[in-house]
Structure 1
Amino acid sequence: MTAEFKTVFRTPWFEIRTVDPGEEPSGTTEPYYVVVRPSGVIAFVLDREGAVVLVEQYRPPLGRVTLEMPAGSVDAGETLETAVAREVLEETGLVCEHWHLIAPCRLALQREDVVDHFFVGLGAHEAEGFQRTERGTVQFLPRSELLDLVKSHRFDQTAALGGLYVAEKLFGIDLLTADLACIQSAMATSAGGDPGN
């Protein structure tokens, strides 16, 4: 049995839908609400020296600025690779020489049926003649500093860390501590020997 969801609230970025009590397969007697939004991309970006690229973002629900990996929605008709490159360019003014899709992930199974896609971008450098469209300050941190933020519970975008875990399990390399040359080699090997993937 498939429940029929009805839209009860709509914005340009997401919708909230509900299913009437008794229609949802679990048999709940309360209305059940879900969030509907486009698929997304999350980017772990390293520059040519191996620093991780993070963006300061003001988050109204938290009432403060956070430090995050670039991320955003996939636009209609856009490939995942185009979406992640666009988001990184808009948020940081950078382009990456190589992109590697690590894994899809679902972040809020109880509220949405959305897949976010975790990418590693290597060789980030400034895009010539590009004017950034977003206001957040871009930071280039040694990866050891990001690791310190994670260990001290000061990195709020913890869901993105799942992508780092998957990368380590798939490729046997810790993206926060490994030498940049080892990361480049592991990513090239994962792409079938073509470092341009």
Structure 2
Amino acid sequence: MTDEHADQNTTHDDWEVLDSVVEYETGWYQGGYDLLEQPDGTQKRYYWAEIQPAVVIVAVADDELVVVKQFRPAIGEHCIELPAGLVENGESYTTAGARELREETGFDPAGVSLLEEFWVATGVLRHRRGIVFAEGLEPGMPTRDTNEFLTVETLPVENALDVARAEPANDATIEGILLAETEGLL
């Protein structure tokens, strides 16, 4: 079966941006569309939402994975997730990861390393994510933002992936655990 639109030889130059429109801004993200001329000469709007980069932290203390439980209004569910947050201007993923871990959980890591950095949901988002690994955790007091209502928990490392895959599962937690396992860190 052939698809007349499936041309593997198109390049970036074959897609001309005719217009880029921001339709809304929320302070947290903006959304809009790019009007593109496609390789066949037709025009189409491609919608997007742009969010600043985020970091997800895989933090381990004494064979226990540090997670947070929080309500996610977008899906109306309480989720068990790896700690995470937005990367502030000028921060690296590792610096942001250490800061977010301290703020959300109170744990101060002795070391943080970048496992992976990648684009997220490329069909609709302009958003990059970094997954970091934190170790040598010292307990302390969290300093959460006013909109962070969460509970810090720990999971035995050997059960972490099963817990992460249980509904309501989320991409960032599963990705983080799988990357850390692949690197031999869990």
Q: Quick check: TM above 0.5?
A: yes
Q: Name the TM tier (shorter chain).
A: 0.7 to 0.9
8 Å Cα contact 1:103-1:163 kept in structure 2? no
- Greater strand share, 1 or 2? 2
Residue 88 of structure 2: which of 48, 53, 75 is its match? 75
Residues 157-186 of structure 1, C-alpha deviation per residue, up to 9 Å, x if partnerless?
2344234434444x4x262xxxxxxxxxxx
Residue 6 of structure 1: which of 6, 21, 35 is its match? 21
Residues 45-86 of structure 1, C-alpha deviation per residue, up to 9 Å, x if partnerless?
112x12101011211121121010011111112222221111
Matching of residue 158 in structure 1 with residue 159 in structure 2: no
Q: How does 1:34-183 map to 2 (within 5 A)?
A: 34-47=48-61, 49-127=62-140, 131-133=143-145, 134-150=148-164, 153-154=166-167, 156-169=169-182, 171=183, 173=184, 175=186
Q: CA deviation at 1:30?
A: 4.8
Change (3 A) 1:2 1:72: farther
| Structure 2 unmatched runs, 5+ | 1-14
Whole-angstrom CA distance in 1 between matches of 2:60 and 2:45? 44
Residue 118 of structure 1 aligns to a residue whose secondary structure is: strand
Change (3 A) 1:130 1:150: closer
Whole-angstrom CA distance in 1 between matches of 2:175 and 2:42? 31
Residue 33 of structure 2 aligns to a residue whose secondary structure is: strand
Report the number of matched residues. Answer: 168
Work out the percentage of aligned pairs sharing the same amino acid: 27
Whole-angstrom CA distance in 2 between matches of 1:115 and 1:131? 25
8 Å Cα contact 1:93-1:132 kept in structure 2? no
What TM-score, normalized to structure 2?
Answer: 0.78
| Structure 1 unmatched runs, 5+ | 176-197
Q: Rg bigger for which structure? A: 2
Residue 137 of structure 1 aligns to a residue whose secondary structure is: strand
8 Å Cα contact 1:40-1:71 kept in structure 2? yes
Residues 23-56 of structure 1, C-alpha deviation per residue, up to 9 Å, x if partnerless?
2436665532101111111111112x12101011
8 Å Cα contact 2:160-2:177 kept in structure 1? no
Structure 1 stretch displaced more, 54-63 or 30-39: 30-39
For the aligned residue pairs, the C-alpha RMSD in angstroms reads 2.3
Whole-angstrom CA distance in 2 between matches of 1:125 and 1:24? 54
Q: CA deviation at 1:112?
A: 1.9
